[in-house]
Amino acid sequence: MAYDEELADRVRFLIKPGPELSERKMFGGLAFLIGGNMAVAASGQGGLLVRVDPKENDKLLAIDFVRPMVMGGRERIGWLRVTPDAADDDEVLREWVDRGVGYARSLPPKKKK
């Protein structure tokens, strides 16, 4: 399944362009990176993939529309999926984009290769 281009456009609008922002196709979707650190992605499986503080992972999984990210058969702590229906809501999308961008900005920028 290809990622939702409309969702990617909505995320792009919320993040606003800047020198630290880049986009990269990964995980079957389109990821938005801040300083080389992934913040959010329009997932190829539908919905939004969000990077969060690993210490908040379990608390955030208690939200009805949040699922764990599973890759290679294993749950990835600090990476969550927001269901497509929830991501359709502008307020919910903004909250999760802000959360992912905030966490990515808290990380040291990756060195360019």
Residue 1's pLDDT band (cuts 50, 70, 90): low
Assess whether pLDDT exceeds 80 at residue 41. Answer: yes
pLDDT in tens, 56-105: 999 999 999 999 999 889 999 999 999 999 999 999 999 999 999 999 99
Query: Phi then psi for 74, rounded to 5 degrees?
Result: -125, 140
pLDDT at 16: 82
What secondary structure letter does DSSP report for 19?
T
Runs of H (alpha helix) within the chain? 5-15, 57-61, 84-87, 90-106
Indicate the class that CATH gives domain 5-106: alpha beta
| Interatomic CA distance for residues 2 and 25, integer angstroms | 11
* Domain boundary assignment for the chain: 5-106
Q: What is the mean pLDDT of the chain?
A: 93
27-44 b/e with 16+ CB inside 10 Å = b? bebbbbbbebbbbbbbbb
58-69 pLDDT, tens digit each: 999 999 999 999
Per-residue tokens: 71 = 């890759």
